[in-house]
Amino acid sequence: MKRLVCLSTAFLLLALPSGALAMVGIEAAVGGWSQNPSGDIGYETRFSADRLDLEKDANYDRESRPMGRIKLDMPLVIPNIYLQATPMEFSGTGSRTESFQFGNVEFDADVDFDSELQLDQYDVALYYGIPLTNLATLGMVNIDLGLNLRFIDFDAEVIGESEGVVTRESRSATLAVPMLYAGVQISPVDRYSLDLEGRYITYSGNRYLDLVARLKAKIAGPVFVAGGWRYQDIKIDARDIEGKLQVDGPFLETGFTF
């Protein structure tokens, strides 16, 4: 998936005339996000008790993962492009006072089990800025609106033991989720800016909400550092996967803009 996103971006850039390519604005950043999970997840659940609480049952804790993004401010009437990669993975050893089923496997009560949950996310957004807003605020405020396509690499596994026999069940799936995208950049002075981003969709028992608040400061030439808070609220009901998850926490990043 990462290779597909990179190749698509390279193709779009190479397809532009050389004069237009010189007009492309670029912002790129890499950093780390401290991800704090909560909620529950289940696979082929029969009853609500089959859904595992990420904190109480699976014993998941905060994890720090890398992330990266790149924004391409395109010339003429070509939509701007926003690419983002957000790895997400949690694991732990937990137990429950009652038995539960994950997929086709029954896991006994009061027996430790290991589990792992992966929710890697790759975003491709196409958007336009609203020119009148930028003009009316003398360049201090900019608003972007567009569409975002999110690919989620989902992988969940539970490993336990029953009467001395190791039991294991897993589920993998790739989900393609269309979302609305909106962004606001506020820059009252040249050196500092506040970025607000939102991605959202709800349909057929599913909900995906991703909010970002980012404070950026230029430190030398095109180089900047940034920090902020990111919050995700995810409700999945697809491919026999059910869950309600929240992931939030602070992040730091560094990058450049031309």
> What's the CATH number where 201 sits?
2.40.128.90
Q: Is a pLDDT exceeding 60 seen at residue 67? A: yes
pTM (predicted TM-score)? 0.89
User: Coil, strand, or helix at residue 18?
Assistant: helix
- The rounded radius of gyration (Å) of the Cα atoms in the chain is 21
Average pLDDT, integer, range 162-169: 87
Average pLDDT, integer, range 5-26: 53
Average pLDDT, integer, range 102-117: 94
Q: Is a pLDDT exceeding 50 seen at residue 114? A: yes
* pLDDT at res. 232: 98
* pLDDT at res. 231: 98
Tell me the pLDDT band of 12, cut-offs 50, 70 and 90: very low
Residue 60 near residue 92, CB atoms below 8 Å:
yes
252: alpha, beta or left? (left if phi > 0; alpha if psi -120 to 50):
beta
- Counting Cβ atoms within 10 Å, is residue 187 exposed (0-12), middle (13-18) or buried (19+)? middle
| Better-scored residue on pLDDT, 205 or 209 | 209
CB environment 14-32: b (16+ within 10 A), e (fewer):
eebeeeeeeebeebbbebe
Q: How far apart are CA 108 and CA 103, in angstroms?
A: 14
Q: If you average pLDDT over every residue of the chain, what do you get?
A: 90
Domain count, the chain: 1
Give the residue numbers spanning the domain of 30: 2-257
* pLDDT at res. 215: 98
Tell me the pLDDT band of 1, cut-offs 50, 70 and 90: low
Scanning the structure block, which residue is given the tokens 């996310």? 121
* pLDDT at res. 76: 82
Average pLDDT, integer, range 46-58: 93
Q: Any residues with CB less than 8 A from the CB of 100 and at least 6 apart, and which?
A: 49, 50, 52, 106, 107
Tell me the pLDDT band of 66, cut-offs 50, 70 and 90: very high
* pLDDT at res. 7: 40
User: Coil, strand, or helix at residue 19?
Assistant: helix
Number of neighbours of residue 119 by Cβ within 10 angstroms:
24
Scanning the structure block, which residue is given the tokens 């937990």? 94
**Maximum distance among all alpha carbons in the chain?**
71
Residue 54 near residue 90, CB atoms below 8 Å:
yes
Tell me the pLDDT band of 18, cut-offs 50, 70 and 90: very low
